[in-house]
Amino acid sequence: MGLPPSRRISECALAKALFTDHLHQHHAPFADSSGYDLNHGLMGVKNRVAQASSAQGVEHGINAAGRTFVHDTIPTNTRNVAARVDLKCSTPGDHAAFTRAGREIHAVEKPENALPQPIESMTMRPTSPRVQSPIDRLPNELLCAIFLLTGDPSPVSGFPRDQDMHDNGLHPFAVKLYSQAAVTIGRVCSRWMHVACGFPALWTVVDVTYPGARATAILKRCLKYSAGLPLVLWLSRRVNPDDSYYGVDPRFMRLVAANAHRWVEISIQLGDECHALQPLIALPPGSFTALRRARIEFALIHVTDNSLDTLLWRSFYTSPHLVALDWNRTQYIQYSLSSAPLRQLTELGVYSTEPGMLLPILLNCTALEVLFVHIDWPWGPEEDNGTIPLASPVCLPRLRALALRGPYDWAPLFSVLEAPSLKRLDLSHMDIKHADIEKMLRRSSAGLMMLTVYWPAMDQGDNIIALLHSPAMRHLRVVRYECAYPGASEFGWEESFDLRPSVPSHMYYTTRYAEAEEYYRMICTTTNPGVV
């Protein structure tokens, strides 16, 4: 259905390039996902979509306020899209999902109290061209680029990251789903409907809240209009827990399994609905041939070596293209060290890991570019009172972003790590051992460009100042420092130290995550395009 195959945008390399740019905006290491406004073009889209949402209710789109988030900038390679979207070509099937909404929208646009004009006066009045609003004058390629910006990132997207230190400030209940925004866009007017239906990249993100009947309908729609492009699945119950009221729809995971070869990312965040994974487990090994990124989280189940979530991990590990993993349970790390393709991983997040697991990860994941390690409270006296047992030299030649969290003595890691490509270091909930960090940077000959210190332990001010003024920090350009909440000193966290007066003048200082990410991205784009 939709535009004839010869007219679909997906038939050219452009749509695939737009899809790639669209995914990259969510996968930058520890990156912000909020972005900035595109002035008149985006405001016009927001207003039109808000009108459509008001006419149709809030079930399938952006809220009445038209709240949207923009992700970075419009993709650059959007030329020649207009020539491939033939607004004159459509089929009755395309109108089926949007017709009733279209009639209501046109009824809203037509004034109800407009007086009929006498025929004589109408014939005598000179004709003039209809004045178009700025949004109506936008070319199709710009509309397509803006349409990609009308949703919000899912809570399960953008890993690896620390959900506290790298918080974009968007509450899960406020997330506006891409897949629902795409439907609302098509209800604005006939032109937008044809552009949306003929733009497969708009339907490549299947972001749903629960594997129920509503999610099945969304997935069917995305499969229909995505025209064979690679797909992303973001499944997060946190966005709308009420969607679980009617239970799991077995058709949803069966559809996911039937299209296993198309998924480039599968990120799942549920409670105890592990039984829903059965259709995926039944697939033969090697079915997820295109999978690059994976995250599995079931908060309310007991993980074992043969539980369904562990079996699904093993199925994911057979993908030859798997490069990014997010292990949020200690058991996932334990059961994966012997089966995961560690040497091909470029991005890895490990949460609540045991200190003894860190060394085998570092020694085997030699291709890492982004690493986040969260070690919780000390596990006991056998771990030397919070000291990480590391002795062997560790070389990660491609590592450019390192984030560490936990009240441990990280000196053993800094004493053995060599990371010549390191550009940013994010530290959370720890003592700042400036001498150990300086030695690691000098030994690596690394030019660190961004430093984040989030919720440091008490009395770390002098150490942080010494680190900022160290010769090893001569390339540093972005400093983000954030204390804990008032009263946190009772639990050992700094709550009042002001770092601003001690920051060198050539460094950009902020306490805000979004500002730091945007400035860092700008610097990386200017000094080394393509590397963030």
Tell me the pLDDT band of 462, cut-offs 50, 70 and 90.
very high
- What local confidence, expressed as pLDDT, does residue 389 receive? 81
Total number of domains in the chain: 3
- What local confidence, expressed as pLDDT, does residue 92 receive? 40
Single out the residue in 154, 174, 202 at which a domain terminates: 202
Tokens, residue 220: 């069917």
Q: Report yes or no on 11 lying in a domain.
A: yes
Q: Report yes or no on 144 lying in a domain.
A: yes
Q: Report yes or no on 341 lying in a domain.
A: no
Examine the domain organization and report whether 238 and 301 are in the same domain.
yes
Q: Which residue has the higher pLDDT, 342 or 531?
A: 342
Separation CA 134–CA 258 (nearest Å)? 43
Mean pLDDT of the chain: 80
Run of H or E residues at 428: strand 424-428
Q: What is the mean pLDDT of residues 124-147?
A: 77
- What local confidence, expressed as pLDDT, does residue 95 receive? 41
Examine the domain organization and report whether 243 and 280 are in the same domain.
yes
Q: Max Cα separation, the chain?
A: 97
pLDDT > 90 in the chain, percent: 58
Comparing CA positions, the residue from 235, 208, 180 lying closest to residue 59 is 180
Single out the residue in 271, 301, 331 at which a domain terminates: 331
- What local confidence, expressed as pLDDT, does residue 36 receive? 31
Q: Which residue has the higher pLDDT, 126 or 200?
A: 200
Examine the domain organization and report whether 375 and 267 are in the same domain.
no
- In this structure, are residues 91 and 25 in contact, taking their beta carbons and an 8 Å threshold? no
- What local confidence, expressed as pLDDT, does residue 513 receive? 95
Q: What is the mean pLDDT of residues 437-462?
A: 97
Contacts by 362-369, CB closer than 8 A, 24 or more apart: 362/390, 362/394, 362/396, 362/417, 363/392, 363/394, 364/337, 365/396, 366/395, 366/396, 366/397, 367/343, 367/398, 368/396, 368/398, 368/399, 369/29, 369/398, 369/399, 369/400, 369/401, 369/421
Burial (CB count within 10 angstroms: exposed 0-12, middle 13-18, buried 19+), residue 126: exposed
Tell me the pLDDT band of 186, cut-offs 50, 70 and 90.
confident
Assess whether pLDDT exceeds 60 at residue 10.
no
Examine the domain organization and report whether 227 and 362 are in the same domain.
no
Examine the domain organization and report whether 444 and 471 are in the same domain.
yes
- What local confidence, expressed as pLDDT, does residue 137 receive? 85
Local structure of 100: helix, strand or coil: helix
- In this structure, are residues 253 and 211 in contact, taking their beta carbons and an 8 Å threshold? yes
Q: Report yes or no on 118 lying in a domain.
A: no
* Residue recorded with tokens 């990156």: 31
Q: Report yes or no on 40 lying in a domain.
A: yes
What CATH number corresponds to the domain at position 433?
A: 3.80.10
Examine the domain organization and report whether 324 and 382 are in the same domain.
no
Q: What is the mean pLDDT of residues 280-301?
A: 96
Examine the domain organization and report whether 37 and 148 are in the same domain.
yes
Q: Report yes or no on 339 lying in a domain.
A: no
Q: Could you read off the pLDDT of 346-374 as tens digits, one per residue?
A: 999 999 888 889 999 999 999 999 999 99
Q: Which residues pair with 231 in a beta bridge?
A: 263
Examine the domain organization and report whether 408 and 532 are in the same domain.
yes
Single out the residue in 157, 179, 202 at which a domain terminates: 202
- What local confidence, expressed as pLDDT, does residue 199 receive? 93
Tell me the pLDDT band of 104, cut-offs 50, 70 and 90.
very low
Local structure of 235: helix, strand or coil: strand
Separation CA 351–CA 330 (nearest Å)? 7
Q: What is the mean pLDDT of residues 177-193?
A: 89
Tell me the pLDDT band of 402, cut-offs 50, 70 and 90.
very high
Domain ranges, residue 210 = 204-331
Examine the domain organization and report whether 325 and 374 are in the same domain.
no
- What local confidence, expressed as pLDDT, does residue 295 receive? 97
Q: What is the mean pLDDT of residues 473-501?
A: 96
Of the ranges 24-28, 236-240, 413-417, the best mean pLDDT one: 413-417
Examine the domain organization and report whether 198 and 217 are in the same domain.
no
Q: Which residue has the higher pLDDT, 431 or 38?
A: 431
Examine the domain organization and report whether 223 and 211 are in the same domain.
yes
Out of 15-19, 271-275, 303-307, 408-412, pick the least confident: 15-19
Q: Report yes or no on 27 lying in a domain.
A: yes
Q: Report yes or no on 188 lying in a domain.
A: yes
Separation CA 207–CA 154 (nearest Å)? 7
- What local confidence, expressed as pLDDT, does residue 386 receive? 62
- What local confidence, expressed as pLDDT, does residue 97 receive? 40
- What local confidence, expressed as pLDDT, does residue 125 receive? 52
Q: What is the mean pLDDT of residues 47-52?
A: 54
- What local confidence, expressed as pLDDT, does residue 55 receive? 45
Examine the domain organization and report whether 194 and 228 are in the same domain.
no
